[in-house]
Structure 1
């Protein structure tokens, strides 16, 4: 750890597996190539710098605020506009439009031939990492903005003022970089914290799935499965705790060291009484997505679903994902429903203070248990980017779209459901492609809630007329539950007695919102060759 201070100053944030060995490598992403490209260590240090900001873990946790299952409490944080539809060229919200990482990767590829390597395969491994990182950054920008410039090396600002490539052209560049990376990338990282073959394949899988390239998505998922390197963690809750950072389910995750290189967004997620801000909260829409524990939806369940007690008899993942009123929490019963408790103002009542959850709900993922963190504002929480459950569900979705239901599709979904005690998929009920598609969509929502995948899913999923799901679920009122907590009720799932709802905000989503606006001042005014996305 002797070079940790240098590492931290460079701000490297995204790694896979454990960070201990990775942190020993000091990145040189901001130094002159003339003074940097001398030794094998120099080259590796520069590649480490390419990881800086590859996918900020904050973005992963905030992304669901741009969907029906999440809400961002504060507009100034940049994610409220994603959810309420107020995006504009002068209000771009939190932006992914940034070429810094791509420039770093280009620098690696332009200069690495100047270094004489003594370790066999090391040069090829570093090139593969740089290409994988560049590809994933291009994927993020291409998906959210729909075509961005493919930039090469340049020496002047004028040379950098290039027009946008088409979305298809950028996809071709991404595919080439990822295919090149797969030739030399390690299956097991030579040192901890580096991108491996499984991570590169996961990048290929997600990119193909988002664009509906079903065969490519299935092939990439199958390649990960065939590595025999990953498996579902039998303890779903543990995945999102400090005790689960070495889980075999995790393919790629951010890495942190508490109070040294910590992650502070965790503090922003806790409710007011827990000294948090409630910046990122789940919505009742998410709770409504969970099946009953017998496999029926709440609409199908009849009397087994009680709207007065909506948390009872649900998929166990609900309890593991959402902190809801009536639960035992930090030595007392969580109450976000009553404005007054024993004659005193309730610090967690939604309208009591800005820092109270406006949905009356809080995320449990990464937050439970509270005492795992000595400092909620500087934690060692390792936010997951890719995990094996996504591989299985991506394979299942792609196979169903290609060929319809099959025994293997059912089996992969069952593996995910049964690890939390849910019943198997009803083969008779979900016997058609359309019915199984609906189930797979619901499974993705509840399995990955709070992990930043929902916004992209509701953009890519369309009805028979080509209408995005987002046009339905992001138009209209977002509401919270109201009611009271019955402290005399022993069943935590029935302590909350729901009597109604209250308005949080009115949302809108137009077809133009499929793509994000490009900043007028930061991008368009500086590069006249860049065009704005339609409608902004």
Structure 2
């Protein structure tokens, strides 16, 4: 299949001279519609331009740093404030508050009727893609900021100084765009990375799930299942390697071409000894969430040994996390000892050696393993997944359980995901109520999708028995790393790390106001009509 990234290199040029000096909402395009909207190729190029930056692969990889399972060491990258709770209007952290892509979509929708198409279906598909893209961007803005302006095309800065719409009004706009898109979208994508019917349904599904519209989320998930285009990859690990880019599990992924349109965030993820920055790392909290191989939580299983916390775990742990003691690049990975095995050489992967050493003693394995797949870790062909079929099954399971409690279908979908990883089927007796199964589904969603950018949203939307966001508990208090030593005489890589204690990485805080991000002060300076979120 043709790759969207190839089209982007040419198509985005139509927007490359656009600029914005007000509000980040609706600047002019430097290219006049009268000179560009002539042919089908013009229309397609403008739609392709709408994809530039859409899936934001870097942000997808960083997003879990704003949760209990991830950490970002560098405040200047913008994601540490998400995790430590230091967000403010002057320090908004990494920001999604940008309307550039929405403006591009508006330009397409305003001008596409000027083009005469040979096929009405082609025109309808391009319109549908533009509306789906606009819906996805509004979804991101609405979820993170809680109501944003629904923008039009403005001729002056003064016209663009519009107030925020309500969250429900933006949701109505999203719903309408998605319904319009479903009416005209193609069943299969024109190129890898482009939106087709499954992609529109995936956006609809996730948006409904995040807002607790269980029936809508369940129906969207079922519609994706009914397409019969997607299936679980037999090899979980393969999904996150270059060899897995055409997996039938992938619904939508960002598209990259190494050294031409490459992804450099991968280099930022590797540990110090591998030439990386350790910008994005998992936490021990995530390790602790993995079940033991007997299907029990660590607190319940006789297989758990606190001195060897990586042993006897759900196989997905090994496929998701690079942990101390494992075999890595022909040697034993050591992030615990200050000195190398010779007892003399400083270990540059020791957490406090430099800023570029992982502060959690852990590194992501997803997208990083094997190291040898990348000739250049700073410009890779990594196609970061946005939506995949496992999320569809998990969404169906969560929504159906919330609606009606446990069912054979819910257990079946969970078992498909677990058995793919080599885990036992769900214990129907133990997880036989809505409440108990809810806890399992939440854990399963976390470990299955770890490192894929959904955890913060999940702990914002999930509530405890008192109605508090889980984030209010999980993101308040100390974030610790493990301490210990590597036993080089041990042949079992899962037991080489001998853990003896913990060390503080940082103290975290999360207030109820942090449900929403602050509107950046720079945006409010450009538009005085933008009200700030409460508490900021």
* TM-score normalised to structure 1 length: 0.95
Q: Does the 8 Å CA contact 1:282/1:361 hold for their aligned counterparts?
A: yes
3-state SS, counterpart of residue 71 of structure 2 = strand
- 1:325 positional shift: 0.3
Query: Structure 1 residues 192, 482: closer, same or farther in 2, change over 3 A?
Result: closer
- 1:442 positional shift: 0.1
Q: Does the 8 Å CA contact 1:17/1:194 hold for their aligned counterparts?
A: no
Q: 1 CA distance for matches of 2:445 and 2:490? A: 33
3-state SS, counterpart of residue 339 of structure 1 = coil
The equivalences for 1:461-472 within 5 A come to 461-472=462-473
The aligned counterpart of 1:130 is 130
The aligned counterpart of 1:362 is 363
Segment drifting more, 291-300 vs 110-119: 110-119
Q: 2 CA distance for matches of 1:241 and 1:84? A: 31
For residues 128-166 of structure 1, give each alpha carbon's deviation from its aligned partner in whole angstroms, at most 9, with x where no partner exists.
Answer: 000000000000000000000001121111111110000
The equivalences for 1:377-388 within 5 A come to 377-388=378-389
The aligned counterpart of 2:11 is 26
The reply on whether 1:62 has 2:62 as its aligned counterpart is yes
Corresponding residue pairs, total:
519
Q: 2 CA distance for matches of 1:136 and 1:23? A: 18
- 1:33 positional shift: 1.8
Q: 1 CA distance for matches of 2:495 and 2:352? A: 23
- 1:525 positional shift: 1.2
The aligned counterpart of 1:207 is 207
The aligned counterpart of 2:451 is 450
The aligned counterpart of 2:27 is none
The aligned counterpart of 2:520 is 519
Q: Does the 8 Å CA contact 1:211/1:460 hold for their aligned counterparts?
A: yes
The equivalences for 1:336-415 within 5 A come to 336-341=335-340, 342=342, 343-415=344-416
- 1:19 positional shift: 3.6
Q: What RMSD in Å do the two structures reach over aligned CA positions?
A: 1.1
3-state SS, counterpart of residue 493 of structure 1 = helix
Q: 2 CA distance for matches of 1:191 and 1:258? A: 18
The aligned counterpart of 2:26 is none
- 1:21 positional shift: 6.0
3-state SS, counterpart of residue 219 of structure 1 = helix
Query: Structure 1 residues 21, 262: closer, same or farther in 2, change over 3 A?
Result: closer
Query: Structure 1 residues 20, 81: closer, same or farther in 2, change over 3 A?
Result: closer
The aligned counterpart of 1:297 is 297
- 1:194 positional shift: 1.3
- 1:20 positional shift: 6.6
Q: 2 CA distance for matches of 1:364 and 1:472? A: 27
3-state SS, counterpart of residue 345 of structure 1 = coil
3-state SS, counterpart of residue 498 of structure 1 = strand
- 1:278 positional shift: 0.2
Q: Does the 8 Å CA contact 1:51/1:133 hold for their aligned counterparts?
A: yes
For residues 474-529 of structure 1, give each alpha carbon's deviation from its aligned partner in whole angstroms, at most 9, with x where no partner exists.
Answer: 00000000000000000000000000000000000000000000111x21111111
For residues 209-228 of structure 1, give each alpha carbon's deviation from its aligned partner in whole angstroms, at most 9, with x where no partner exists.
Answer: 00000000000000000000
3-state SS, counterpart of residue 76 of structure 1 = helix
- 1:123 positional shift: 1.0
- 1:34 positional shift: 2.2
Q: 2 CA distance for matches of 1:17 and 1:309? A: 46
Q: 2 CA distance for matches of 1:433 and 1:427? A: 11
Q: 2 CA distance for matches of 1:485 and 1:109? A: 60
The equivalences for 1:64-103 within 5 A come to 64-103=64-103
The reply on whether 1:307 has 2:306 as its aligned counterpart is yes
Q: Does the 8 Å CA contact 2:293/2:312 hold for their aligned counterparts?
A: yes
The aligned counterpart of 2:219 is 219
The aligned counterpart of 1:425 is 426
- 1:119 positional shift: 2.7
- 1:79 positional shift: 0.2
Q: 1 CA distance for matches of 2:313 and 2:436? A: 21
3-state SS, counterpart of residue 203 of structure 2 = helix
Deviation above 2 Å: which 4+ runs of structure 1? 16-27, 29-32, 190-193
- 1:17 positional shift: 8.2
- 1:23 positional shift: 5.0
For residues 386-405 of structure 1, give each alpha carbon's deviation from its aligned partner in whole angstroms, at most 9, with x where no partner exists.
Answer: 00000000000000000000
3-state SS, counterpart of residue 95 of structure 2 = coil
Q: 2 CA distance for matches of 1:190 and 1:360? A: 43
Q: 1 CA distance for matches of 2:136 and 2:164? A: 18
The aligned counterpart of 2:461 is 460
Q: Does the 8 Å CA contact 1:187/1:198 hold for their aligned counterparts?
A: yes
The aligned counterpart of 2:261 is 261
For residues 165-191 of structure 1, give each alpha carbon's deviation from its aligned partner in whole angstroms, at most 9, with x where no partner exists.
Answer: 000000000000000000110111234
Q: Does the 8 Å CA contact 1:21/1:191 hold for their aligned counterparts?
A: no
The aligned counterpart of 2:110 is 110
Q: Does the 8 Å CA contact 2:2/2:190 hold for their aligned counterparts?
A: no
- 1:444 positional shift: 0.6
Q: Does the 8 Å CA contact 2:192/2:255 hold for their aligned counterparts?
A: no
Q: 1 CA distance for matches of 2:9 and 2:358? A: 39
The aligned counterpart of 1:8 is none
The reply on whether 1:331 has 2:330 as its aligned counterpart is yes
Q: Does the 8 Å CA contact 1:21/1:192 hold for their aligned counterparts?
A: no
Q: Does the 8 Å CA contact 2:55/2:253 hold for their aligned counterparts?
A: no
Query: Structure 1 residues 17, 511: closer, same or farther in 2, change over 3 A?
Result: farther
The equivalences for 1:133-282 within 5 A come to 133-282=133-282
Q: Does the 8 Å CA contact 2:238/2:244 hold for their aligned counterparts?
A: yes
Q: 1 CA distance for matches of 2:203 and 2:42? A: 27
Q: Does the 8 Å CA contact 1:64/1:70 hold for their aligned counterparts?
A: yes
The aligned counterpart of 2:22 is none
- 1:316 positional shift: 0.3
Query: Structure 1 residues 52, 228: closer, same or farther in 2, change over 3 A?
Result: same
